[in-house]
Amino acid sequence: MAYDTDLADRIREALLAVTGALPDEKRMFGGLCFLIAGNMCCGILAERLMARVGPQAYDTLLASPGAAEMDFTGRPMRGMIMLESDAVADEDALQEWLGHCFAFVRTLPPK
């Protein structure tokens, strides 16, 4: 499956600004995922952002406009949210969501 290359570029720039280095990238889930210290931080599936926000922030953030459960198998992946492209169309919104992702991933031990 193809992914939105413009969104990928925006994510690279945003994560570079936050971490000081380009994130590792890996094709997963039929899209492209960005990893920090070996842990998945976020990704793109078609035009949607996959946001790894963790289980504690999940319920609150799932109520956000444009947010939906990430469900590939009939069972939602708790801690992962799918965002419609409109929800991250402007830079402030993308930065906010990536901030949630980075905040969770930095709590994980490096792989």
Run means of pLDDT, 10 residues per run, the chain, 111 residues = 90 89 89 95 95 96 96 88 96 95 95 89
- pLDDT, residue 96, reads 95
- Side-chain-side CA neighbours of 59 within 13 Å: the count stands at 1
Which of 34, 44, 52 has its CA nearest to residue 1?
Answer: 44
Gap between the Cα atoms of 99 and 76, Å rounded = 22
Angle, vertex CA 68, rays to CA 62 and CA 69, nearest 5: 90
Provide the 10 A C-beta neighbour count for residue 110.
7
